[in-house]
Amino acid sequence: MADLIIARPEGLYCPQGNFYIDPWRAVERAVITHGHADHSRTGHGHYLAAAPGAGILRARLGEINLQTAQYGESIVHNGVAISLHPAGHVLGSAQVRLEHRGEVWVASGDYKVEPDGTCAAFEPVRCDTFITESTFGMPIYRWQPQREIFDDINQWWRANAAAGRASVLYCYAFGKAQRILYGVDASIGPIICHGAAEPLNRVYREAGVALPPTSLVTDISDKATLNTALVLAPPSAGGTTWIKRFGDYSDAFASGWMLLRGARRRRGVDRGFVLSDHADWPGLMQAIKATGAGRVIVTHGQIGVMVRWLQQNGLEAGAFQTEYGAEPDEGKGAEVAAHA
C-alpha cells in the first residue's frame, strides 16, 4: 500500500488527498497542527486547523482562508478521512490522523504528554504509522513535574520582590508565556507582559483559559510597582531599552534547554528553569508506545538517536527531513546545533 504521507520540497504531503501538513512552502491546501511559526506560515490557499487554535492562527497570520474542525471530527477530502486530535503542546495544537482504505497514519506535530491546563491534553491515537518530533529525543531529557518548577519560579519571584527587584523571566511569547501565567502564584505581585505576549494572552482568555490579570509596562503609572513585578518577555527583549526600565532586576530563562550544562551561562541570566512544551524522552517513548504503531517516522530534533533506539527496540523506523525547528525569536535551532 502506498504511503499516506511523503516528504516533498514544499512539506509533508498526502498524495491520496492532495494536501500538505504544516508545509514550509506556499501550497493550495494545508492542514496545520498549531500556530508556531515553523509549522504555520502565510501564503497557503486553504487552511484546516483545530477550532481551539483559530484565534491564534488569525492573530499570527492575519486574514486567511481558514476552515476549522472540532477535535475528533472527521472530514473526508479526496477519499482521505482527516481528523484532528489534541497534542497538548499549545492552545489549538493537534495531531493529524489520516485514514485511507483501512490504513491509518498520524502526524503528531509538536506535543507533550503532561497536561498543563492551557490547552487540551495529549490524547494517544492508534495508528499503523506514527510521525513524531524529536526535539528532546535523547535519554538525558527528563522533566521534573511542572508543579515543582512553578514552585521554584514562585520562590525566586517572592525573594526578588522582598528585595525590591523585578523578576524578568524570558520565555517564548506563544505557549510558554501563557503556561507560566497559568502556573505561577499571582498573589505574589503584579505581572507585566511584553507586547509580543499580551495579544496572545487575550486570545487564550477568549478561548476560556483562566489567566491572571496582566499589564503592559506602559499601563504602570507607579514605578514602585515595577520593583515587585514578574515580567514575562521574549528572549529578543534582552538588552533593549524596554528591559532597562526595570532597573536592577533579576533575570531567568524558562526552556527545556536549561537542562543542559552551560545553557544558562550562554544566555547570561541569573536562573534557568527547565520548563518545556515538548515531550521529554520518557514522554516520547510513552506516546509512541500508546499509538501501537509498527512504523515510526522521526522528524526535527535528535533524529539519529531516536531512529536507532526505535530500531533496536523492534520497530520499523525512519526519518523525514523537514524545515521545522524554531520560532524566529526562540533560539531553539542554535541550541540544537550546539548540542546535537
Is the pLDDT confidence value at 337 over 50? no
d(CA 55, CA 69): 13
**pLDDT attached to residue 289:** 98
d(CA 281, CA 337): 19
List of residues 6+ apart from 36 with CB closer than 8 A: 90, 110, 174, 175, 327
d(CA 188, CA 315): 49
CA nearest to 136, candidates 117, 106, 113? 113
Q: How confident is the model at residue 334 (pLDDT cuts 50, 70, 90)?
A: very low
Instruction: Tell me the per-residue pLDDT of 242-262, one tens digit each, with 9 for 90 and over.
Output: 999 999 999 999 999 999 978
d(CA 234, CA 210): 21
Percentage of the residues of the chain whose pLDDT score is greater than 70: 96
d(CA 228, CA 205): 24
| Domains of the chain (ranges, CATH numbers) | 6-141+277-338 (3.60.15.10), 146-273 (3.40.50)
Q: How confident is the model at residue 265 (pLDDT cuts 50, 70, 90)?
A: confident
Q: Tell me which amino acid residue 28 is.
A: E
Instruction: Tell me the per-residue pLDDT of 159-177, one tens digit each, with 9 for 90 and over.
Output: 999 999 999 999 999 999 9
**pLDDT attached to residue 83:** 98
Q: How confident is the model at residue 264 (pLDDT cuts 50, 70, 90)?
A: confident
DSSP per residue, 72-134:
T-EEEETTEEEEEEE-SSSTT-EEEEEEETTEEEEE--S--SS--SSSPPP-----SEEEEEE
**pLDDT attached to residue 267:** 83
**How high is the mean pLDDT of the chain?**
94
Alpha-carbon distances, residue 303 vs 72, 325, 326 (angstroms): 29, 12, 16
List of residues 6+ apart from 329 with CB closer than 8 A: 172, 173, 196, 234, 235, 236
Instruction: Tell me the per-residue pLDDT of 23-63, one tens digit each, with 9 for 90 and over.
Output: 999 999 999 999 999 999 999 999 999 999 999 999 999 99
CA nearest to 156, candidates 239, 269, 1, 26? 269
Sheet holding 129-134, edge to edge: 74-77, 80-86, 94-100, 103-107, 129-134, 295-301, 316-319
d(CA 92, CA 86): 8
Instruction: Tell me the per-residue pLDDT of 185-208, one tens digit each, with 9 for 90 and over.
Output: 999 999 999 999 999 999 999 999
8-state DSSP, 196: T
List of residues 6+ apart from 67 with CB closer than 8 A: 46, 47, 48, 49
* Whether the predicted model's global pTM rises above the 0.85 cut: yes
